[in-house]
Structure 1
Amino acid sequence: MRPIPTPADPEAWNAYLAEGNAKQARKRVAADVLLTDTDGRVLLVNPTYKPGWDLPGGMAEANEPPEDAVTRELVEELGLTVAINGLLVVDWVAPHGPWDDQISFIFNGGTLSPEQGARLTPHDDELAEAAFLPPDIAHDRLADRIRPRFTTALHALADGRTRYLRNGDSAW
């Protein structure tokens, strides 16, 4: 059995850490945003690459912080720049279909002005449309797997308390 290197030998120590890093699990990260308008409606997008409506956002790139991923996706897909106003939901999503597990975030994007809302149109071919909808109608348009996360995000927005879910269910 070989001895475990120490920081006293930086080259051996970094090689040891890199070996451990290569064996550890890697998580896919999804980052979405809850945006409202002045009438309390929520923004949903209709992706072209999957069925059903969704919250704006998308997948993080390698080593990209989730909040950077969601702001990047908003610019790319809707030409929209917003300040993130906090975290609403973190959801650990179990493996499903061909996918490994993932961590999904929903951030608070605040309330858009009527002028900002009027300018929202898809900026790339990933979205067919974007629309502000009353929360109950938005809920019904979302895919089953996203509904619990969306409902939880609305509760978190209302009471200011971030929630953790485990595959869409309250963990505590």
Structure 2
Amino acid sequence: MPENSMTDDRPLYGRDPDAWQAYLAEGNAKQARKRVGADVLIRNEQGHVLLVNPRYKPDWDLPGGMAEANEPPHLAAEREVREELGIGLTVGRLLVVDWVAPHGPWDDSLMFIFDGGTITDAQASALRLADGELLGYQFLSLEDSRAVLRPYVWQRLRNAVANTDSDSCRYIVNGR
């Protein structure tokens, strides 16, 4: 086709790379962004789950936290555990993705729960409150954890524990 033709059937990215980048940037600026949380299911040798008591919220939670901009969820989970509890941990596979509906002042979010495996009693005794975000931590049975977790967080935990023997990932909505 001649250079001065009025029609060019090539896609925008093929005929004007700068215009294509501008188009992508405009879409990126206008599309919704989701908050991403990344938590870790860590168990002790007795099979109890590690929960943390955050200073900034009324209920206990799983170890982990919010991903930073452009941070992969699995690395966010590892960073949060290191920052809050002082242990280096390489997370295992993804157990659960939970879509959390808008609530209160918050928009919707995606919560990822990774398998942190079982830590030894020696590793558990090396845990420490490292950055001031936590008031404490405790290993609890799944049933006992129900009393200290918000209902949808307990459901998320229950799904993660139930999925540890599977090769799949569970997608849930608001903990269910």
Name the TM-score, length of structure 2 as normaliser: 0.90
Superposition pairs of residues 16-165 of structure 1, within 5 angstroms: 16-165=23-172
Query: How many equivalent pairs are there?
Result: 167
Give the whole-Å Cα distance in 2 for the aligned partners of 1:75 and 1:152: 24
Give the whole-Å Cα distance in 2 for the aligned partners of 1:99 and 1:14: 31
Does the aligned pair in 1 maintain the 2:56–2:133 contact within 8 Å? yes
Give the whole-Å Cα distance in 1 for the aligned partners of 2:114 and 2:154: 15
Give the whole-Å Cα distance in 2 for the aligned partners of 1:108 and 1:138: 17
What is the CA RMSD across the aligned residues, in angstroms?
1.4
Cα displacement (A) at 1:7: 3.0
Q: Identify the residue that residue 173 of structure 2 maps to in structure 1.
A: 166
Q: Which runs of 4+ in 1 moved over 6 A?
A: none
Does the aligned pair in 1 maintain the 2:49–2:139 contact within 8 Å? yes
Please give the per-residue CA displacement for 1:111-161, whole angstroms capped at 9, x wherever unaligned. 101111001121111101111111111122111231111110111013343
Name the TM-score, length of structure 1 as normaliser: 0.92
Does the aligned pair in 2 maintain the 1:139–1:151 contact within 8 Å? no
- One-letter amino acid of the counterpart of residue 94, structure 2: L
Give the whole-Å Cα distance in 2 for the aligned partners of 1:103 and 1:8: 37
Does the aligned pair in 2 maintain the 1:89–1:107 contact within 8 Å? yes
Of the two, which has the highest radius of gyration?
Answer: 2
- One-letter amino acid of the counterpart of residue 104, structure 1: M
Q: Is the deviation greater in 158-167 or in 66-75? A: 158-167
Q: Is the deviation greater in 78-87 or in 53-62? A: 78-87
Please give the per-residue CA displacement for 1:31-62, whole angstroms capped at 9, x wherever unaligned. 00000011101100000000011000000001
Give the whole-Å Cα distance in 1 for the aligned partners of 2:24 and 2:92: 35
Give the whole-Å Cα distance in 2 for the aligned partners of 1:136 and 1:82: 25
Paired-residue identity, %: 53
Give the whole-Å Cα distance in 1 for the aligned partners of 2:141 and 2:174: 25
- One-letter amino acid of the counterpart of residue 162, structure 1: C
Where does structure 2 lack aligned partners over 5 or more consecutive residues? 1-7
Where does structure 1 lack aligned partners over 5 or more consecutive residues? none
